[in-house]
Amino acid sequence: MPRSWRSGTAIANRQRVYRAAALGYETGMLLRRIFLALALAALVGLVPRPVPAAATGALVIETAGGPHKFQVELATTDAEKAEGLMYRRELAPDAGMLFDMGPGEHEATFWMKNTYIPLDMLFIRADGRIRNIAERAVPQSLATIASDGPVRAVLEINGGTVARLGIKPGDKVRHALFGNLN
């Protein structure tokens, strides 16, 4: 063996190289463990999944072109309202979700975070009249979508439904929530 190979400096350099290699190995193993833990969490259901609202019911929108019937989920709890239609990949053409904003009328704001389908949002007064409409809200957008004033409820339906059915502000929404479903 050459003499320089056994010198103190050479030994110290080799030790530094070995430590660096061991650190790289440990870091790689840590990253593998983190990846496996995340994969396992996804498999056992720790990743959020869509949960239907507690109750469903009939809803009718009366337009100039006639009545249009929907079957809607009713979101009343904070958890149901927070989740809304997040994580859904599809929505039946005559389906939707009605958000009860509580007794009386309140300003309402929504966003499309974790929502994968475009939606039309109808902001509805306590008497069942549509105050304003936000059409074709962009999936995954963090932009705020707000009512033009106090409302009792918000109805989310498939994007494009408002235009297809000719739904306009001032049209009447009939549902048990408004006490006007005959």
- Number of domains forming the structure of the chain: 2
Domain at 136, CATH number = 2.60.120.1140
Position 90 in a domain: yes
pLDDT for position 135 = 98
Position 128 in a domain: yes
Position 102 in a domain: yes
Position 118 in a domain: yes
Write out the chain's pLDDT in tens, 182 residues.
555 555 666 666 666 656 655 556 666 666 677 666 666 666 655 555 555 556 899 999 999 999 999 999 999 999 999 999 999 999 999 999 999 998 999 999 999 999 999 999 999 999 999 999 999 999 999 999 999 999 999 999 999 999 999 999 999 999 999 999 87
Whether the model pTM is above 0.85: no
Same domain, 61 and 121: yes
Same domain, 72 and 39: no
Same domain, 35 and 60: no
Domain that holds residue 82: 55-175
pLDDT for position 55 = 86
Position 36 in a domain: yes
What one-character-per-residue DSSP string does the chain give? --GGGGSHHHHHHHHHHHHHHHHHHHHHHHHHHHHHHHHHHHHTT-S------SEEEEEEEEETTEEEEEEEEEE-SHHHHHHTTTT-S---TTEEEEEE--SS-B--EE--TT--S-EEEEEE-TTSBEEEEEEEEPTT----EE-SS-BSEEEEEETTHHHHHT--TT-EEE-GGGT---
pLDDT for position 54 = 62
